[in-house]
Structure 1
Amino acid sequence: MPDLHIPAAGGSHQEAYLATPSGTGPWPGVVVLQDAFGVGQNIRAHADRLAAAGYLAVTPKLYTPRGGGIRCVAAVFRSMTSGQGPVFDDIEAARVWLAGRDDCTGRIGVIGFCQGGGFALLAAARYDFAASAPNYGHVPTDAERELEGICPVVGSFGAKDASLKGHPERLEAALTTLGVEKDIRTYEGAGHSFHERFYAESLIRPLGMGYDAAASEDSWRRVLAFFGEHLA
């Protein structure tokens, strides 16, 4: 489906990509949160994969003109680490819009990649999501406090991801203390962005990034099984 506009914070609108399953709904929904590069081909492909599995998947564009180009990108990154900012209102607006559709059951999950993985954790603790799937996302330092009240979590990380060293362990410990159902896995051979295909793979692999087929496929297997249990 082509891009559309959905509600955003403050009565404005945000661009989004919607992937719809074949057949007749209603279907459970998933809010798909972008990586640092925005809503590109990779993220749309993730939404399409969720739709093929029977989920109504919407991907809001978190980089909006409201912030003014580069300033908006910087503001979104600050929100990921500070846990504050209008981007959270935009994510909630996407969830509410999706849940309110006639072809949606109203039961909504959230999945994020890289930057979006961090937002998938924080938003899941604040809003009425039924399951969260952060992929190589930032885990807050005070995870136990920031994630209180979170829904079940299926998280995936790469052992070669130097930028998130200690994050999967911190997430596992916090969710254990909070008594949250979880499936957290770190893939030994994978680095950051192991779900993503890049044009310059040979350039980014030395940086601990890039597609890893084995890790990606096993992570998707776990995510879809987890969503099947909690969103059905």
Structure 2
Amino acid sequence: MPRLEITIPTPDGDCPATLHVPDGGGPAPAVIFYADAGGVRETMRAMADRLAASGYVTLLPDFYYRSGDWEPFDLATVFSDPTERARLMKMVQSLDADAIARDAGAFLDFLGGRPEVSGTTVGTTGYCMGGRSSLIVAGRHPERVAAAASFHGGRLAATDDPDSPYLLADRLRAAVYVAAAQNDDSFPADQFERLKGAFESVGVRYTMEEYPAAHGFAVPDNPTHDPSAEERHWTALTDLFAKNLRG
């Protein structure tokens, strides 16, 4: 798949990104792909390549660009190394919902001007904290996001978080797919039910499932990667986009 290194101007600065284009160059529907807390790295680029191979122009932004040049994290050791864990948490906490939404506005403008992209709506998908971002963007830009997915996303319906995505349910126009991990402290059963209730109360078109796998199941360089769950996630994701971004 062609992989283009690009820079997108945002209200907060220049955001490096890669644009992954299907063979043939498009035009094709676009997807914004949000990495997990480990940020953009080769594993995520390979996943974006795979989504592009399924027929979607895939934008993979470096949402940590406000931190300047940063050293990639090793997910096998980041949480057991106090220094690396502190660095990761500082970068994670640098992103709030307003920043995510501002960036998404710039990403949407960028995609809207690309000849490789067809249509006026996009899909979003994300992993871990990226799953939360995916749903926030769908709620903050409802006229532009037609399908949104979250895989082992965290804090999707946290009552102590004023930016938790469940509070945006009444703004969503997208079809939504949420795949929860098993025994996930970042998205426990009470949050699962709260998010489901929020969707049902306002008529969101949604599917919510719990995979029999640990948090991080879809990402190959994660120590908890589960190949079977990863393949299930690809099937669900491409089905969501085929039904809602094409036609």
Instruction: Give the structure-2-normalised TM-score.
Output: 0.80
**Structure-1 residue corresponding to 2:180:** 157
Q: Counterparts of 1:23 and 1:67 in 2: how far apart (Å)?
A: 34
Q: Cα–Cα, structure 1 residues 73 and 8, in superposed 2: closer, same or farther, change >3 Å?
A: farther
Matched with 2:149 is 133
The one-letter amino acid of 1:47's match is A
Alignment of 1:45-124 (within 5 A): 45-65=46-66, 74=90, 76-77=92-93, 79-80=95-96, 83-84=97-98, 86-105=99-118, 106-124=120-138
- In structure 2, the partner of 1:145 is 167
**What is the CA-CA distance between 1:171 and the residue it aligns to?**
2.0
Question: Shift of residue 89 of structure 1?
Answer: 0.8
Q: Is 1:231 paired with 2:245?
A: yes
What is the identity, as a one-letter code, of the residue corresponding to 2:168? E
Q: 2:218 corresponds to which residue?
A: 195
Contact 2:14/2:65, CA 8 A, preserved across alignment:
no
Deviation at 1:68, TM superposition (A): 8.5
Runs of 4+ in structure 1 off by over 3 angstroms are 65-73
Does structure 1 residue 214 correspond to structure 2 residue 224? no
In the TM superposition, what are the counterparts of 1:160-199 in structure 2 within 5 Å? 160-166=183-189, 167-188=191-212, 190-198=213-221
Structure 1 distance, partners of 2:114, 2:54, is: 19
Give the structure with the higher percent helix.
Answer: 1
5+ long unaligned stretches in structure 2: 71-85, 160-164
Q: Partners of 1:184 and 1:4 in 2: how far apart?
A: 34
User: What is the RMSD of the two structures over their aligned residues, measured on CA atoms?
Assistant: 2.3
Unmatched tracts of structure 1, length 5 or more: 202-209
Check conservation: 1:7, 1:93, Cα contact below 8 A.
yes
- TM-score scaled by length of structure 1: 0.85
Larger CA deviation: 113-122 vs 161-170 = 161-170
Percent identity over paired residues = 30
Q: Determine if the alignment matches structure 1 residue 7 to structure 2 residue 9.
A: yes
Contact 1:33-1:116 at 8 Å conserved across structures: yes
* 1:99-120 alpha-carbon deviations (Å, 9 max, x no partner): 2211211331010111110111
**What is the deviation of 1:73?**
6.3
